[in-house]
Amino acid sequence: MIATVARQHVRSLRRQHVFTVTMFTFVAMTVSAGAIGWSSHNTIVRVYDDATALLGAEGKPAPPNPFELVAPLAVLTNLVIYVPLIGSLVALIIGHLSVADDQATGIGRLIFSRRLRRSSYLAGKLQGTGAVLAIALAASWVVSVVSLRIANGDLPGIDELVRLAGFELVSWLYLMVFALIGMTTALATARRSLGLLSGLGVWLVITFALPQFTSGLRPTTSLNPVTDPVNTSQTFFQITANARPISISEQYKTIGAHLLGATTDATTADVWLRTLPILAALAALGALAWWLVSRHDYSRGTTDA
Amino acid sequence: MPRNRTRITLARHEYRAAVRSKVLLGLIAIAVVTAAASVYIGAVDYRSQLADYNAYVTAATANGIQQVAPMPLQPLSLLRGAMEYLEIIGAVIGITIGYLSVSRERTSGTLPLLRSRPVSKTQLTTGSVLGALAIITTLVAATASVSVLSLGFIANTWISGDQIVKLALAYLAAIVYIATFYCLGVITTASSKVAANGLLVALGIWLCVVLVLPQIGDTLDPDNQVPGGLFAALTLDKAHEEQVLSHFGTYETVRTTIENASLEKHFERFAFAMTDVKDKYRGFTLGQLLKETLVNLIWLAIYPTALVALLYRSTRRQPTFNPGANP
């Protein structure tokens, strides 16, 4: 029965072209990340050559190349920004649609006229949503490999392919958090738009407000994969830094940057430890979604105001 | 009823109906709280730096030093975070107000009732726009008041008359900027049979204009690729930087064109110039600042003008009678 619900959910997403839009979005953001990474990398190498020649003409020593130790996967660093920015919004909408559509079209009433447990219904919805996001991320992985081949002039090695797969796996976990946020806000509100906007409010808090409170990162700073260190010596940050683990967008960015070789600040053990808050958020939201689904009245429809 | 009175009555209706929305109030609360928090964080840091500077001035004066270094701190620059929140969350609030304005009338069925009175569609639209402007002004005024009071009480710096004028202009630009997104919310919702789809389209455009385009422009900037700045890492001064960048004319043109396509970037440049965020504007008079940011002001006028025209067109096409809510 779980598989039937999942198949119906995926079919519904395909019929509404949401599946196609999701695939296009993930492929486009991977191509864009690769193109930007390649372009800025090339420009910086040329700037470095020009600067070295200029300083050499003046008899000054050449500074070390700032990109000398950059890992091949670092070309895709922008993905660390695009997944929390664009991917999570797409996941939120998929999660929202998975519940809101059944309420609006009356399919929910029809489904529960059959012998179906609420937990199986939720598991089916999660399976369908998870499958769509996994396919989109798998496409992103393939495009990433092609982008790396073009940008670096060489195919990535096994270690790099595994790291890239690890990045996609962590991205999937992070996106599932937002799909669950979309589901729970749709289940908790009586109106469809209210659910969507509430989900958006949560997304704004996680993506922009929490990093500012816990690490002093301004909203536009959060948009750049390379950030200057922020002075967090104030008492305010000494208190709020304790809440940094719950700032899952920061945790995701650190893990992503490490896996793509853009930073060497954290150890591998530390990086995997950072997935715990994401897993905890998944578990908590999953429990909340189950609680809401089991109490939801599917005999009522939703309005749009 | 005189025409102006009708418009004001409609604007009042719009305002009252909007503030009844819990989601809108929630988003406004997020915007005000995050803006206040960002000013608070900056103000605490500023207060300690100001104390250090004052201690330096006292010590220098006591030692008979004639030339004391000018204060490097700019109190208005502490509003940078607050402005950035208006850029991002303010735009979402604008879209939400626009969306709610259309979907509310559709589902509550007040439109046929209003049209049974001697009220034209243009008056209806003008009333809604005025009501939305009043909500946006309330939001911006609340953010501005909290920010200025935080500067005064936490950073121990009360802004001067000149600074008030600059700040007023920055917040006026914020109202225009958010109102542009309100127009977008109305247009996309009014053009969609299913109101929620209109909201999704508006949010997609918001994502591209406010977050993706400026992000691409920023990331392509070579100086943003290395922590602390590429040119600083290469030990190049401003003159050398310009000399090197002169070889990258086409690249810079593409990069700035991408940035210029975003209304958000124009608002940001103007607001940052008015709030002393950028060092290059330090010491400029208000006239010089306005001259320097004229292009941004022109774009800030073009976008809302075009969208207001589209808004009147799309709301005129809205059916007066729309039976039942359409999810």
Which tens digit of pLDDT belongs to each residue from B228-243? 677 777 777 777 777 7
A200 touches chain B (CB under 8 A): yes
Evaluate whether A248 touches A277 at the Cβ level (below 8 Å): yes
Contacts of A19 (CB under 8 A, 6+ apart): A10, A13, A132
Position B325 confidence tier, pLDDT thresholds 50, 70, 90: very low
pLDDT, mean of residues A281-300: 89
Rg of chain A over all Cα atoms, to the nearest angstrom: 22
What ipTM, to 2 d.p.?
0.75
Stated pTM of the model: 0.82
Report d(CA A232, CA A227) in Å as an integer: 14
Report d(CA B299, CA A252) in Å as an integer: 36
Evaluate whether A218 touches B80 at the Cβ level (below 8 Å): yes
pLDDT, mean of residues A117-131: 93
Tokens of B302: 């073009």
Evaluate whether B196 touches A302 at the Cβ level (below 8 Å): no
Bridge partner list, A303: A191
Between chains, do B27 and A212 touch, taking CB under 8 Å as contact? Answer: no
Evaluate whether A291 touches A183 at the Cβ level (below 8 Å): no
Q: What is the DSSP letter of B261?
A: T
Task: Give A-chain residues touching B44 at CB under 8 angstroms.
Answer: 234-236
Tokens of B108: 């509550």
A156 φ, ψ (degrees, to nearest 5) = -65, 150
pLDDT > 70 fraction of chain B, expressed in percent and rounded: 92
A57 touches chain B (CB under 8 A): no
3-state secondary structure of B193: coil
Q: What is the pLDDT of residue B147?
A: 86
Interfacial B residues in 198-217 facing A (CB < 8 Å): 199-200, 203, 207, 211-212, 214-216
B154 touches chain A (CB under 8 A): no
Evaluate whether A185 touches A202 at the Cβ level (below 8 Å): yes
Q: Backbone dihedral region of A59: left (phi > 0), alpha (psi from -120 to 50 degrees) or beta?
A: left
A293 φ, ψ (degrees, to nearest 5) = -65, -40
Q: Give the domain ranges of chain A.
A: 2-295
Position A278 confidence tier, pLDDT thresholds 50, 70, 90: very high
Between chains, do B41 and A219 touch, taking CB under 8 Å as contact? Answer: no
Between chains, do B218 and A223 touch, taking CB under 8 Å as contact? Answer: yes
Report d(CA B187, CA B199) in Å as an integer: 10
Task: Give B-chain residues touching A208 at CB under 8 angstroms.
Answer: 34, 85, 88-89
Report d(CA B316, CA B120) in Å as an integer: 10
Between chains, do B107 and A85 touch, taking CB under 8 Å as contact? Answer: no
Evaluate whether B185 touches B95 at the Cβ level (below 8 Å): yes
Contacts of A305 (CB under 8 A, 6+ apart): A191, A193, B100, B103, B104, B106, B107, B108, B325
Bridge partner list, A191: A303
Which tens digit of pLDDT belongs to each residue from B2-39? 667 777 888 888 888 777 777 778 878 888 888 887 88
Q: Is B172 exposed, middle or buried (0-12, 13-18, 19+ CB in 10 A)?
A: middle
